[in-house]
Structure 1
Amino acid sequence: MAGAAAKKGSLMYKIQRFCYYKSYFPSLGLWRDDMRRESAVLREALTRLPRADLEARNFRIARAVVLNNAKMTLPRDQWTELDDDRLYLDPIIKKIEKEIKEKEDYAKSR
């Protein structure tokens, strides 16, 4: 779901908003990209991520683990908002996948 892609007030936006807040991660202060499954592409993307963004991601994940273990959530005013949530790893992951595909195509052509 692309949070900012749908116009505010549209039915699609309302459905996205409902689904976003029904999931558990906004109440822990996490972004959607913080919830990606571990893979080789993700590990490479994290090495290419700027240090400040990586540290912010690690902080959000560590805080979420502590909150989850304590069976708590953040106060409602500290939840991540659908409109503020950004997919910060998407451009990097797309670039890595493109590089992998180019390497495979090159290896096939040899």
Structure 2
Amino acid sequence: MGLKWDDLLMEEREDVQKAISRLPEREQYDRAFRIRTAVQQSILHKGLPKDQWVTPEQDTRYMTPYVLQVEAENNERAYYDNIEVERKK
């Protein structure tokens, strides 16, 4: 309840790792704090107090634009990496 939608993206994916590195420093810190808080609450088997819940208005897709940008760059790179150069005779 204290996590945002994009906090749940799998960090093991290369495009997500690049997107995380492109986030503003404050957003990276906030993301790490939300994840650490969730892990701590899970270990303690406690729920998050309601005043700390993320409301639907606060739950923005803060990382999705960065992930889409990285995917577009990867697709463009793959498109142009397949060009074969032929020598003129």
Shared fold per TM-score greater than 0.5: yes
Distance in 2 (CA, whole Å) between partners of 1:74 and 1:107 is 48
State the 4+ residue runs in structure 1 displaced beyond 6 angstroms: none
- 1:81: which partner in 2? 55
Are residue 45 (structure 1) and residue 37 (structure 2) matched? no
Are residue 33 (structure 1) and residue 9 (structure 2) matched? no
Cα shift at 1:42:
0.8
Gaps of 5+ in 2: 85-89
Cα offsets for 1:26-84 (capped at 9, x unmatched): 1xx11011111121111111111111100010011111110000001112232111122
Are residue 103 (structure 1) and residue 77 (structure 2) matched? yes
Identical positions, percent:
33
Return the TM-score normalized by structure 1: 0.72
Structure having greater relative contact order (Cα 8 Å, sep ≥ 6): 2
CA-atom RMSD, angstroms? Answer: 1.0
Which of these two proteins has the greater Rg computed from alpha carbons? 2
Distance in 1 (CA, whole Å) between partners of 2:72 and 2:16 is 14
